[in-house]
Amino acid sequence: MNQFAKNTSQSPKKAISSSKPKSHIDWPKFPDWDGDFSENINGVPNVSGSEKILKQTTQDNSHPVFLPESGIDFGRIRSACAIALHMHQPLIPAGSGDLSTAEIISNLKYMWDNQYIGDNHNAPVFHWCYKRIGEFIPQLVNEGKQPRVMLEYSGTLLYGLRQMGLHDVLDHLKTITLVHDYRRTIEWLGCPWGHAVAPSTPVQDYRLHVLAWRHYFAAIFGIEALSRVRGFSPSEMALPNHPDVAYEFVKTLKECGYQWVLVQEHTVEQPENGQLSNRPHIPHRLTCRNSYGETVSIIAIIKTQGSDTKLVAQMQPFYEAKSLNCWELAGKKIPPLVTQIADGENGGVMMNEFPSKFFEAINESSGSDTPFMNVTEYLEHLFAMGFKEEDFPVVQPVMQKRLWSRFTPGDGPEKMASTIEELKKEDHQFHVEGGSWTNDISWVKGYENVLGPMEKVSSLFNEKAIKAQIPTNEHRYRNALFHLMSSQTSCYRYWGQGLWTDYGKEICRRASDILTYDF
């Protein structure tokens, strides 16, 4: 899917205005001042309108946020581990029997109200999983231990929890995020608001997801808490490998103030040989070039192995880290960091075994030479040692070496598109749809019946809202954006056919109606 060539009306060889980068994509119209940080505005989640205020939180993110209170004697440890819990529930039109008029609710609420169907009896357990880390952290800290955990909650989940009235979950999360004694133990990771997968989501929409999550997080936890969000977790660990899409992905993260991104080990390669990194437990630098020759980079933390919840539930990263010793980087010894992320609520092992194993591992690791650490905390210790981003080895999205061997950066999107087609004809395994932990699943192929309506709504939103420069704090803009993002959740691709496809199409229809009749 080339999101650039089809929209390029001029040859890349022609002169392009120096006032804009060659890959320029229009931004919406951000109001000069809109300090309304209510969670919901006129019945719609607060996902836009205060972009200029939030931008201030990214102006100077070089100062450390965890280092002053870390409490880890970094100079004496030989290894460390980091775990992240990914939490998500989509929004679905299922508030009544008629799909065309049903209220858009959390899938968790549907499960809760229909516990006699299938696995819906897990709804109360899911509820506990979403808040239990807010119970575990205070207990461990008050016992003198050093717990660490990274949290990634989609915007649709956070909105759905509030909509359901599950205020206890958000109250527990606020406690560990805002109370001074606990906040050093928690690192929130940014993510796309609607759990959109980067390879198959139009780049301008993906940027809106990233901005929207920051809006909604600030509305719940405050701007100061948002200023401490330095890392980003892509939905499904899906990293685009089309050069133009990957470039815009990293550019979006950098412009939104993120310092590092979590990537799956099989989605990146070493540019010199096209092979996987041979030292995945040290920070890397993800460098992306586009067809115009522009380059952008960001720190990449490599998540190893697959997406089996047992890896985190049974504390595999900790036990792997215990077997490692310091590695050399740029002439200095540093402790490797074993990093894993998994669903925080799915599967019997995560539901039932995580609590006891988490307590066991934290008790054993606290004060040891293999502690739990959060990624930004770890990076801040490296920076304090004098390391810079340029010291980290370079990786690029997978399969790009083969493309760069045939294509010269700067030749433009049309030439790149033809080169990609040549490589596809030569090798059916070559693709530029992106990679994720689901290596056997394409996030594009086979989902045309969903992507078709999504792309039409995306185009309509771009025409009616972005190009028309509708202010992002207007209700019609916010309402259309809410529906657009809700329709782009990965669930409507992952499940393929049937009712979930119908859900996605229905939300697209509503977004289209809003854009047609309210603009």
Per-residue pLDDT tens digits for 105-116:
999 999 999 999
Least confident of 309-318, 349-358, 476-485, 492-501: 492-501
pLDDT of 513 above 70 = yes
pLDDT in tens, 427-454: 988 988 754 333 444 434 444 555 578 8
Report CA-CA distances (Å) from 443 to 437, 450, 491: 11, 11, 11
Q: Which CATH class is domain 52-396?
A: alpha beta
Contact between 191 and 201 (Cβ < 8 Å): no
Q: Is the dihedral of CA 356, 159, 486, 303 positive or negative?
A: negative
Residue type, 498: G
The residues spanned by each domain of the chain are 27-49+399-406+413-517, 52-396
Element holding 510 (H helix, E strand) = helix 499-517
Give the contacts of 46 (CB within 8 A, at least 6 positions apart): 36, 37, 38, 39, 40, 215, 216, 219, 478
pLDDT attached to residue 288: 97
pLDDT attached to residue 456: 87
DSSP for residue 466: I
Contact between 325 and 76 (Cβ < 8 Å): no
pLDDT of 517 above 60 = yes
- The helix-helix angle for 203-221 and 448-461 (nearest 10°) equals 80
pLDDT of 255 above 50 = yes
Contact between 47 and 481 (Cβ < 8 Å): yes
Alpha carbons 113 and 121: distance in angstroms, whole number: 10
**% of the chain surpassing 90 pLDDT:** 78
pLDDT attached to residue 173: 98
Tell me the pairing of strands 268-269 and 394-397.
antiparallel
Tell me which range, 3-17, 88-102, 196-210, 375-389, is most confidently predicted by mean pLDDT.
Answer: 375-389
pLDDT of 5 above 60 = no
Mean pLDDT of 21-30: 77
Alpha carbons 406 and 419: distance in angstroms, whole number: 7
Contact between 37 and 278 (Cβ < 8 Å): no
Tell me the backbone φ, ψ of residue 515, rounded to 5 degrees: -70, -25
pLDDT attached to residue 307: 63
